[in-house]
Amino acid sequence: MKVLFAFLRFCCIMKAVILMPKDKNIHSGHRDRVRERFCETGLDSFADHNVLELVLFYSVPRRDTNELAHRLIKHFGSLPAVFEASVERLMEVPGISYNSAVLIRLFTEVGKRYAMSKQKKGVVLDDMETAANYVSGLFIGDSVESFYIICLDGRNKVICCEKHSSGTATNSSVTIPFVIDSVTKHKARSVILAHNHPASYARPSYEDVDITRRIKRLLDEMHIHLIDHIIVGYDGKCVSMSASRMMSEDYGVN
């Protein structure tokens, strides 16, 4: 009789569990608490895995997204690397569906669009800090090397910002004729060049210095001022070749 009673009690417990609403479990209220915490403090108090956990709430309805978040960071090595990964690579992680992969990638693209939408024509780039902030937004989420030409008028106001090329993670193809054509077409009075090093620090290479000096010589002949060539590293830090004097012919290059 004791065995039968125990079995019947077990059945009642299991029935209650089965009939329990899906969100009424040991983690009940957890998602609401995380959302409230975000609304109150933003992401400042969130660890990297908590950020991903929150994002995944919106593509994973009931599963523990904390586990998935840890799995993603372990697989890619860092939070930025997760957001920069392609949809295909994200789906290589067990438990990450197509919807989750698209959502994660969407955050990066929205962030980039947001930054670029604030950099419309008319922005004045009259100091290094302003120019560096402007340029940094161009490369949000980029995993390949890209090159931009920023044309300015006589008051250093942006006329246009053109993406010239994209390449591999370590190299982009820069053609001098394209640069000259762009500044001529937009009647630029001055120019800022920018490109990124998605796999390394922002230190200019010998090739970076050489192409910059060649472009500068041609622009000088056209009475167009090359203000700077700014390089953005994988860590988001910038190097100004003008401030570093690397655009000068007198500056030696190792």
pLDDT at residue 115 above 80? no
- Provide φ and ψ at 248, rounded to 5°: -75, 140
User: In this structure, what token pair is assigned to residue 231?
Assistant: 């390089």
- Residue 251 — pLDDT band, cuts 50, 70, 90? low
| Torsion angle of the four alpha carbons 140, 210, 251, 195, in this order, in degrees rounded to the nearest 10 | -10
- Residue 14 — pLDDT band, cuts 50, 70, 90? very low
Q: What is the pLDDT of residue 144?
A: 82
CA 230 to chain centre: 17
pLDDT at residue 199 above 90? no
Q: What is the DSSP pairing of strand 158-166 with strand 190-197?
A: unpaired
User: In this structure, what token pair is assigned to residue 195?
Assistant: 């490109």
Mean pLDDT in residue range 40-55? 92
**Taking the CB of residue 60, how many other CB atoms lie within 10 A of it?**
18
- Residue 2 — pLDDT band, cuts 50, 70, 90? very low
Q: How far apart are CA 28 and CA 97, in angstroms?
A: 24
Order across the sheet with 158-166: list the strands.
Answer: 158-166, 146-152, 190-197, 225-233, 238-240
- Residue 122 — pLDDT band, cuts 50, 70, 90? confident
Quick one: which of 221, 215, 228 has its CA closest to 177?
215
All domains of the chain, ordered by start, with CATH?
29-114 (1.10.150.20), 122-240 (3.40.140.10)
Q: What is the pLDDT of residue 131?
A: 92
Contact at 8 Å (CB) between 242 and 228?
Answer: yes
Sign of CA dihedral 45, 23, 105, 52: positive
Alpha-helical runs (H) found in 118-187 = 128-136, 176-185
Q: Which residue has the higher pLDDT, 240 or 14?
A: 240
Q: How far apart are CA 33 and CA 121, in angstroms?
A: 42
Q: What is the pLDDT of residues 157-192, one digit of tens each?
A: 999 888 887 665 455 566 788 889 999 999 999 999
Average pLDDT, the chain: 83
